[in-house]
Amino acid sequence: MPATATVRLHPVDLARVASVGLRTRRVRAALSALGIAIGVAAMVAVLGLSASSQAGLLSEIDKLGTNLLTVEPGQTMSGETAKLPKDAVPMISRIGPVQNVQSTGEVTAKVYRTQYIPEVNTNGLSVHAASLGLPAAVSTSVAQGEYLNAATATQPVAVLGADAARRLGIYHLIPNQRIWVGEQWFYVAGILNPAKLTPEIDTSVLIGYESAARYLNFDGYSTKVYVLSQPDQVTSVYNVLAATANPATPDEITVSRPSAALIARAAAQSAFNGLFLGLGAVALLVGGIGVANTMVISVLERRSEIGLRRALGATRGDIRTQFLSEAILLAAIGGAVGVGAGVLATVAYAQVKGWETVVPPLAWAGGLGASMLIGAVAGLLPALRAARMAPTEALRTA
């Protein structure tokens, strides 16, 4: 008896056969695919939003500049707060690659909108003496009014940081606008735009050094120095700042780079992605269970089809391939819908925030691949069960 040649279905025909069960049971298939779609959408959105937010933050940092360094007093050997020498600013300005040096000094005074507000309601605001070129050094500008000048820096005149103005309820300057600082009135000359690299400026009320000494008993010591260096010399300037600011005790000086702190914060935020990815993986697993349940019921309902196909010459491998392909196709459809939903969510949120839209290949390719893998695992057992059915048994129990 001549051997019977094995005939394999063309991939197009296999896809059409595999889709029969999905097309005839659309509601069940859609509900099963929904679980896969939700899981994949969550994973794609988490990775996409994380990448987009980091890209937006890094782009913003590049625009603001990464050449800003700050100098602050640290602690003495006895654990007390150290002080910057009063000649620290002129000493730092002598460093060759340094382009701009500005400073602020903390003033022990409270600020309120009026003198009738209880003392405990400080709104988290602070008062600082500030040098005249501070806005340019911290990459901000005046939103309303004017910044301090040589004349107003000697008078009871203040400039508000962006958050300080909001917390004081001052959104628009009016003539002779005043605030209550250190038990006396100060006129408000201007309001600053947000200082992204130096958020402490946003919550500060800034006055001149001479004004602070005259009206608020300021001791004249700077508590923070802002240094702009040439972009290609940042590391070199960083290495000599402490010794230049305080040659006697450089260990009592703290030097930092605000842009590096923001980058570190972005990296720390990405650590939370694991939690959300885990939630997406749980949803994907639940979706896989739904696919497995759908395929098990499909095998039971289609026993007559299985018996007829076996009687007409289909091998066990053909039956197994059909049902396994059906499970993979169902999961792939859910994965594709999930990828689309995740990408749309990323694009929409990034546009609202003004970020560059970034969807890493790992997000969409990994989501689609994971869904197909889940489908293959979920459909394997039902496919094997369908393949083991004998033609006579399948037709008899139909």
Per-residue pLDDT of 27-76, as tens digits, reads 777 777 787 888 888 888 888 887 787 777 667 666 666 788 999 998 88
Provide the pLDDT for residue 261. 59
pLDDT tier, 20 (very low <50, low <70, confident <90, very high otherwise)? low
Provide the pLDDT for residue 216. 95
Q: Shortest CA distance to 317 belongs to which of 8, 4, 2?
A: 8
Determine the Cα–Cα distance for residues 108 and 284; give it in Å rounded to an integer.
56
Determine the Cα–Cα distance for residues 172 and 170; give it in Å rounded to an integer.
6
Half-sphere exposure of 300 (CA within 13 A, CB side): 6
Determine the Cα–Cα distance for residues 322 and 295; give it in Å rounded to an integer.
11
Q: Alpha-carbon torsion 185, 186, 190, 191, what sign? A: negative
Residue 306 has pLDDT above 90, yes or no: no
Residue 276 has pLDDT above 70, yes or no: no
Between 49 and 251, the more confident residue is 251
**What is the value of pTM for the model shown?**
0.60
Residue 266 has pLDDT above 60, yes or no: no
Where is average pLDDT lowest: 144-153, 205-214, 305-314, 336-345? 305-314
Provide the pLDDT for residue 1. 41
Provide the pLDDT for residue 273. 61
pLDDT tier, 15 (very low <50, low <70, confident <90, very high otherwise)? low
Between 108 and 296, the more confident residue is 108
* Residues in a beta bridge with 71: 225, 255
State how beta strands 178-181 and 142-145 pair.
unpaired
Between 121 and 208, the more confident residue is 208
Provide the pLDDT for residue 166. 95
Between 396 and 201, the more confident residue is 201
Q: What average pLDDT score do residues 184-212 get?
A: 94
Residue 89 has pLDDT above 90, yes or no: yes
3-state secondary structure of 393: helix
Share of the chain above pLDDT 70, in %: 80
Kindly report the CA angle at 131 between 128 and 137, in degrees rounded to 5? Answer: 105
Break the chain into its structural domains and give their ranges.
Answer: 11-61+268-396, 68-257
